[in-house]
Amino acid sequence: MLRPALLVAALAAAFPVYADADLDALRAELKEMKTAYETRIQALESRLQQAETKTEAIAATAPAAEPAARSSSSFNPDISLILQGKYAHLEKLDERGITGFMAEGEHGHGGGGRGFSLDGTELVISASIDPYFRGYLNAVLVDESVEVEEAWFQTLGLGQGLSIKGGRFKSGIGYQNEQHPHAWDFATNNLVYEALFGEGYVQEGLQMKWLAPTDTFLEFGGEIGNGSAFPATNNDNNGFSSIALFGHVGGDVGVSNSWRAGLSWLRAKPREREFDGHDINDVEVVGDFSGKSRTWLADFVWKWAPNGNATQQNFKFAAEYFRRDESGELACDDADPLDPSLCIGGLAAPFSADQSGFYAQGVYQFMPRWRAGYRYDQLFRGDVAFNGADAGATLGSLADYDPKRHSLMLDYNPSEFTRIRLQYSLDKAQQGVDENQFYVQYIYSLGSHGAHKF
Amino acid sequence: MKSITTPIASAALLALAAALPAAAHADLKVFACEPEWGALVKEIGGAHVNVYTATTAMQDPHHIEARPSLIARARSANLLACTGAELEIGWLPVILAESGNPAIQTGQPGQFLAASHVTMLEKPAALDRSAGDVHAAGNPHIQTDPRNIARVGEALARRMAELDPAQAVVYQARWKDFSTRWQAAIVRWEQQAAPLRGLPVVVQHKGFPYLENWLGLKEVAVLEPKPGVEPSVGHLARVAAQLQATPARAVLRAVYQSPRPADWLAQRAGIPALALPYTVGGNARASDLFGLFDDTLDQLLKAAP
């Protein structure tokens, strides 16, 4: 309602020199508009007042509706706890790795040990901080330590479809990346994410996202971070060591189908990134890699439910494809000086890798409570060069081998807070090892478990 | 210089002046979580609102995927009209967080929650998930009582006028017109429903307390052992046995629920299974709010003695 007045003021200020008849006429017109608006607003206000007194009168006679429901459960903040663990029947192997790939070492391939094991217990606390920000913490309790998986703030009030997230957060790249392990459709991670990031790529920095004002979902985002997670390294410098860019597009096809597709790019500058492996004689080597790392990810998700009602039956298909280029220098040395390897005395030489892979999975809820799923993981080792020759000539852990894995799962969900899952995997991630893996997994959600993303 | 600039400036000003009223008259963009609120917004707003309804009558509003299309539509909404009372807790928080739209966030005038404007039934005395999917604020299925539609509509019309003052007169006038017709319809429905008072019914999900309260139906059994837990064979057999002692006249379910449990029991007990439209669009007759209750009552009356 201030608009006409403001406009008149702004115009008067902007065009003082052209005070001619044209402008006077315009001024008069605008003034007329302003008065017209004011009278309309006055009329509205008086009508509203009348309406209000009328409702007050009604409220006095009729039994009053309760004011906004305040319940004892509307905690601030929302707290939830995820209990998860599994029983794994695996073969006895000295180590589990992904042949042909320099993967993140900390989480280990295959997940967990043999027999019974407790998976990370997730404690999630989130709330609106004030009208402008939201806060979120996901802490994973493991023996003798607490891993802060995510701890971030996000803006609520920027408008125009913009939002900024800051702190430590799961990067918006790819599809599965933002999901915590309890939301995965299988008991173990797929080979693509294991090879690329370990569990998923976590940024410590800032993320900006923009949602386009279109009826088709169109979202763009960019991130800068300190690069403290694989494949980057925290390089003890100002500025940032990791940049990610991503775009997502999505929509519905009829009332029963919906989809989302995305393209992401991650640039990292690893410096002295740790490397563990073995040479062609199976002697352990250690070393580090410095150079540049570029990852492209393409993802696609499609969901179907009859009439869009997922309670009885639904189907979900997800697939992601990646390509990673790394080049720089790899330094390797004997892990144990008493056990000399081909890297004896320390070997530092140019290294480059051009690798790719994908996973594709389908999960079908064939009746209430029951879901079955199949996933196929496939990595392509591609060209890996070290010291002017194929890396496989020196390092057995980087041998020319394409890892793959088949997984079948069946889960039972007596309620949306409980999931019990059976899984069988035929794991060919390591050259020369075809392992049959059996898992029984449980996932329980306590407290106000937040809504899941698409 | 002056002679060139002045006409351009004047033209720009004229364009601005012309654009101004148009901008003020832009449609109110509404994101309605459920069809009943979408229909109510249309009744009040007429041609001045642009309504997107996030769910259909064939979908269970507890379990909706936070689809990209919903996020895209929430992005540009001026008003979010939802039930509240935790009905949409499994998906709406994601939509709100991802929308980048400050106008519809919790606590803003652009977020309208219908459950805040009616008296809630079935507030649990104790909150424990062992009791199933219970809602702390009470049963959220408030739209099955037309008197609730009236209460919500009145607050909604006021909120729409607040958000779009340029059309406040229109909204109030349209609301008054709707309200008059609605009150007359309630009187008519209540007269028709006289034989339903005390009618014993079985429900599939605890989704009808407001309808039962309005018409005086007597709920003798529930097919879901706990709210939100799918009926099991064992529980159905127990309900069937119970009906021998306390017979019911009909089994009620919402159209979006699986027909199997209700049909099984109905056949077993020799009573009709009614698929009530539950919200606007639930069947061909329930194409608007009036049709919703016309059809609901006609179906119930067939089961009356």
Q: For the ranges A60-69, B32-41, B146-155, B184-193, which has the lowest average pLDDT?
A: A60-69
DSSP A393: G
Q: Residues of chain B with pLDDT > 70: what percent?
A: 92
ipTM of this predicted complex?
0.86
**pLDDT greater than 90 at residue A69:** no
Q: For the ranges A340-344, B2-6, B207-211, which has the lowest average pLDDT?
A: B2-6
pLDDT tier, A64 (very low <50, low <70, confident <90, very high otherwise) = very low
Nearest chain A alpha carbon to B139: A69
**pLDDT greater than 50 at residue B14:** no
pLDDT score recorded for residue A76: 77
The angle that helices B35-45 and B168-192 make with each other, rounded to 10 degrees, is 120
Residues A137-152 have a mean pLDDT of 93
pLDDT score recorded for residue B152: 98
Give the burial class of A151: count Cβ atoms within 10 A of its Cβ; 0-12 exposed, 13-18 middle, 19 or more buried.
Answer: middle
Question: Under an 8 A CB cutoff, do B118 and A303 touch?
Answer: no
Residues B242-268 have a mean pLDDT of 94
Question: Under an 8 A CB cutoff, do B132 and A451 touch?
Answer: no
pLDDT score recorded for residue B29: 97
Which one is predicted more confidently, A297 or A239? Answer: A297
**pLDDT greater than 70 at residue B3:** no
pLDDT score recorded for residue A23: 59
| Closest CA–CA distance from residue B304 to any residue of chain A (Å) | 30
Question: Under an 8 A CB cutoff, do B97 and A72 touch?
Answer: no
Size of interface A-B (CB pairs under 8 A): 198
- Using a CB–CB cutoff of 8 Å, tell me whether A83 touches chain B: no
Question: Which stretches of A15-145 are DSSP H helices?
Answer: 21-61
C-alpha B33/C-alpha B104 separation (Å) is 12
Question: Under an 8 A CB cutoff, do B103 and A159 touch?
Answer: yes
Residues B88-117 have a mean pLDDT of 95
Q: Are A82 and A447 in contact (CB under 8 A)?
A: no
pLDDT digits (tens, 9 = 90+) for A416-442: 899 999 999 999 999 999 999 999 999
pLDDT score recorded for residue B132: 76
> What H or E segment, with its residue span, contains residue A381?
strand A370-386
Task: State phi, psi for A298 to the nearest 5 degrees.
Answer: -120, 135
Q: Are B144 and B121 in contact (CB under 8 A)?
A: no
Nearest chain B alpha carbon to A134: B97
pLDDT tier, B194 (very low <50, low <70, confident <90, very high otherwise) = very high
Per CB-CB distance under 8 Å, the chain B contacts of A307 are 56, 58-59, 256
CA dihedral B37, B43, B47, B50 (to 10 degrees): 0
Question: Under an 8 A CB cutoff, do B69 and A215 touch?
Answer: yes
C-alpha A360/C-alpha A301 separation (Å) is 10
Q: To the nearest whole number, what is the mean pLDDT of chain A?
A: 86
pLDDT score recorded for residue A104: 82
pLDDT tier, A157 (very low <50, low <70, confident <90, very high otherwise) = confident
**CA B172, B96, A419, A143 torsion: positive or negative?**
negative
Q: Are B217 and B211 in contact (CB under 8 A)?
A: yes
**pLDDT greater than 60 at residue B196:** yes
Q: For the ranges A294-298, A414-418, A450-454, B141-145, which has the lowest average pLDDT?
A: A450-454
Q: Are A139 and A148 in contact (CB under 8 A)?
A: yes
Q: Which of B44, B17, B16, B19 has the alpha carbon at shortest distance from B32?
A: B44
Question: Under an 8 A CB cutoff, do B14 and A26 touch?
Answer: yes
| Closest CA–CA distance from residue A136 to any residue of chain B (Å) | 12
pLDDT tier, A171 (very low <50, low <70, confident <90, very high otherwise) = very high
pLDDT digits (tens, 9 = 90+) for A246-265: 999 999 999 999 999 999 99
Residue A111 one-letter amino acid: G
**pLDDT greater than 70 at residue B69:** yes
| Closest CA–CA distance from residue A332 to any residue of chain B (Å) | 45
C-alpha B223/C-alpha B16 separation (Å) is 62
**3-state SS string over chain B?**
CHHHHHHHHHHHHHHHHHHHHHHHCCCEEEEECCHHHHHHHHHHHHHHEEEEECCCCCCCCCCCCCCHHHHHHHHCCCEEEECCCCCCCCCHHHHHHHHCCHHHCCCCCCEEEHHHHCCCCCCCCCCCHHHCCCCCCCCCCHHHCHHHHHHHHHHHHHHHHHHCHHHHHHHHHHHHHHHHHHHHHHHHHHHHCHHHCCCEEEECCCCCHHHHHHHCCEEEEECCCCCCCCCCHHHHHHHHHHHHHCCCCEEEEECCCCHHHHHHHHHHHCCCEEEECCCCCCCCCCCCHHHHHHHHHHHHHHHCC
Residues A316-335 have a mean pLDDT of 96
pLDDT score recorded for residue B159: 97
**CA distances (Å), B37 to each of A226, A320, B41, B45, B55, in order?**
47, 39, 6, 12, 11
Question: Under an 8 A CB cutoff, do A18 and B2 touch?
Answer: yes
What is the number of other CB atoms lying within 10 angstroms of the CB of residue A282?
Answer: 10
DSSP symbols for A196-260 = HTTT--EEEEEEEEEE-SSSSEEEEEEEEE---STTS---S-SS-SEEEEEEEEEEEETTTEEEE
What is the number of other CB atoms lying within 10 angstroms of the CB of residue B9?
Answer: 17
pLDDT tier, A59 (very low <50, low <70, confident <90, very high otherwise) = very low
pLDDT tier, A28 (very low <50, low <70, confident <90, very high otherwise) = low
Tokens of A130: 């004030």
Give the burial class of B91: count Cβ atoms within 10 A of its Cβ; 0-12 exposed, 13-18 middle, 19 or more buried.
Answer: buried
- Using a CB–CB cutoff of 8 Å, tell me whether A32 touches chain B: no
Task: State phi, psi for A352 to the nearest 5 degrees.
Answer: -150, 145
What is the number of other CB atoms lying within 10 angstroms of the CB of residue A46?
Answer: 10
Q: Which of B150, B147, B123 has the alpha carbon at shortest distance from B135?
A: B123
Q: Which of B87, B63, B94 has the alpha carbon at shortest distance from B136?
A: B87
Tokens of B139: 């049963």
C-alpha A149/C-alpha A120 separation (Å) is 11
pLDDT digits (tens, 9 = 90+) for B262-295: 999 999 999 999 999 999 999 999 999 999 999 9
Note which residues in 313-372 of chain A have CB less than 8 A from chain B: 368-369
pLDDT tier, B95 (very low <50, low <70, confident <90, very high otherwise) = very high
Q: Residues of chain B with pLDDT > 90: what percent?
A: 82
Q: Can you tell me whether residue A418 is helix, strand or coil?
A: strand
Q: Which of A56, A51, A111, A101 has the alpha carbon at shortest distance from A379?
A: A101
Closest Cβ–Cβ partner in B59, B108, B133 for A307: B59
Q: Residues of chain A with pLDDT > 90: what percent?
A: 67
C-alpha B129/C-alpha B141 separation (Å) is 19
pLDDT score recorded for residue A98: 93
**pLDDT greater than 70 at residue A1:** no
pLDDT digits (tens, 9 = 90+) for A217-237: 999 999 999 999 999 998 888
Question: Under an 8 A CB cutoff, do B120 and A209 touch?
Answer: no
pLDDT digits (tens, 9 = 90+) for B106-150: 999 999 999 999 999 998 877 777 777 778 889 999 999 999 999
Which one is predicted more confidently, A6 or A287? Answer: A287
Q: Are B87 and B61 in contact (CB under 8 A)?
A: yes
Tokens of B133: 């999917």
pLDDT tier, A26 (very low <50, low <70, confident <90, very high otherwise) = low
Beta-bridge mates of residue A395: A279
What is the number of other CB atoms lying within 10 angstroms of the CB of residue A442?
Answer: 16
**CA A449, A451, A452, A453 torsion: positive or negative?**
negative
C-alpha B20/C-alpha A202 separation (Å) is 47
Which one is predicted more confidently, A346 or B15? Answer: A346
| Closest CA–CA distance from residue B215 to any residue of chain A (Å) | 18
**pLDDT greater than 80 at residue B19:** no
Q: For the ranges A26-35, A137-146, A354-363, B202-211, which has the lowest average pLDDT?
A: A26-35
Residues A324-335 have a mean pLDDT of 94
pLDDT score recorded for residue A24: 65
Task: State phi, psi for A316 to the nearest 5 degrees.
Answer: -135, 130
Residues B49-70 have a mean pLDDT of 96
The angle that helices B146-163 and B289-303 make with each other, rounded to 10 degrees, is 170
- Using a CB–CB cutoff of 8 Å, tell me whether A161 touches chain B: yes
> How many angstroms separate the most distant Cα atoms in chain B?
97
Give the burial class of A369: count Cβ atoms within 10 A of its Cβ; 0-12 exposed, 13-18 middle, 19 or more buried.
Answer: middle
Q: To the nearest whole number, what is the mean pLDDT of chain B?
A: 90
Tokens of A442: 């449980």
Question: Under an 8 A CB cutoff, do A252 and B229 touch?
Answer: no
Question: Under an 8 A CB cutoff, do A66 and B120 touch?
Answer: yes
> What H or E segment, with its residue span, contains residue A312?
none
Beta-bridge mates of residue A361: A318, A375
